[in-house]
Amino acid sequence: MSLPTPTPSAVRSHRKETYKPGAVIGDWRPEDEGFWQITGRRVAQRNLWISIPALMLGFVVWQVWSVTVVKLNDVGFGFSKSQLFWLTAIPGITGGTFRILYTFIGPIFGERKFTAFSTLVLVAPMLWLGFALQDTGTPYWELALIAAVCGIGGANFASSMANIGFFFPKREKGSANGLNGGLGNLGVSVVQLVAPLVVTAAVLGPPAGGPQHDAKQNTDIWLQNGAFLWVPLLVIMALLAWFLMNDLKVAAAPFSQQKIIFRRKHNWLMTWLYVGTFGSFIGFAAGLPLLIKNNFEAQGYEATTYAWIGPFIGALMRWAGGWLSDRIGGARVTMLSFVGMAAALVVVIFALPAGGDQGSFWAFFIGFLAAFAFSGLGNGSTFRQIPVIFREQHMRQAQGQGPEAQAAALKQSEMEAGAVTGFSSAIAAYGFFFIPAMFAAISVTNALWMFIGFYATCLAVCWWFYARKGAEAPS
């Protein structure tokens, strides 16, 4: 279906009033090539490049505990290995739970306003964490509560990804969502790389507080800097989102309309697949620093030196997954992702220390890097599959019913795809909790074998419903 193409002069005149930064946009037709080339692309790109750093900061706040826990005992807190794993896991509970809420709230209030608000509120947990880390007498329950509040940062992903999908035409959704999600995911590696550097000196000056003594390294560090550093950046990004992004009327929908996704089979199937890809990515990112510390630190390998590299690769591969899926199909890329992750974890299992064997750090680390890479590939491909599946099903049902029915079907498919994107990301975010929690509760080896078994079920689901010849919803 193609809608009438507006004249360049009409679009330019309309754009002055309707498409300026901060405006609510009512007329949005990215599938109309004339509209897209004259107006749509510019507006969509502006919203995308504000969304990306805002989302990145959300991931920074969500993952700040994965690197903070590595130094807690070195400055005198004295927690057990299990307690430290739980501190890394707790943000996963609130992150996943609030993602469910954020999925449906954004379209109700407007994504521009909600992006600004959800970014600004993250200032509170960063300030709280920075002050709490300066007192080794801070009780464990308070640190656990701070970890829970930091988890809200992970919720931003649900509203952000659902929003960006509305701005782009079908042929570019995979790349756009891959860029937004992939570069947003970079917040994991950014915090794991930058935080250990800024805590080594009083880079924020006296207002940030005095140092703590790192007994292990016999030096002073400023652990609170890893939290305070992000406060001004969060404020800046909230302001940029408020003044430079747009609300799309086509993306607005009350919960009464969005809840239909709970009756859609492909909502649940794609959620299952995304749990396998993103759940692995975010859970491994949360747990890897402590895995390195507990298994290989005695051999001279520092967790903060290596842990950030895996999430960095996974984030970049998310964009590659979206780009590749636009060309060969998302289902094929998703299947490759699960095969690759399973093979990578087998390498990790046999590289871990066992009995009197010290294991092989480099085999362990390279195996995890491969697991991150394939998880990122699958993150991009699954989010390309979702809009394709819902668009094709709705347009097929409206076939032969005239332009108005087809336009309504297209709008419905966009709304449902956005809601499914947010909901699947919410459920997958619980991987942040369950993976470190499983490492704390059972042996790492047994947990990894369980993940491999789960990937086998994901592979079967993807092949049967989306990849095989005659599949119900090829994507």
> How many angstroms separate the CA atoms of 197 and 85, rounded?
22
φ/ψ of residue 214, rounded to 5: -85, 100
Instruction: Count CB-CB contacts under 10 A for residue 378.
Output: 34
What SS3 state is found at 205? Answer: coil
Q: Tell me what the mean pLDDT of segment 238-258 comes to.
A: 85
Please tell me the predicted confidence (pLDDT) of residue 31: 85
Please tell me the predicted confidence (pLDDT) of residue 367: 97
What is the widest separation between alpha-carbon atoms in the chain? 76
* pLDDT tens digits along 53-97: 999 999 999 989 988 988 899 988 989 988 988 898 899 889 888
Q: Tell me what the mean pLDDT of segment 380-406 comes to.
A: 88
What SS3 state is found at 475? Answer: coil
φ/ψ of residue 248, rounded to 5: -105, 125
Q: What angle do CA 93, 319, 273 make, to 5 degrees?
A: 45
More confident residue, 28 or 3: 28
Q: Which domains does the chain have, with CATH numbers?
A: 8-467 (1.20.1250.20)
pTM for the predicted model, two decimal places:
0.80
> How many angstroms separate the CA atoms of 218 and 214, rounded?
5
The terminus-to-terminus CA distance of the chain in angstroms comes to 20
> How many angstroms separate the CA atoms of 233 and 217, rounded?
30
Helices (H) and strands (E) in the chain, counts: 20, 4
Q: 11 pLDDT exceeds 50? A: no
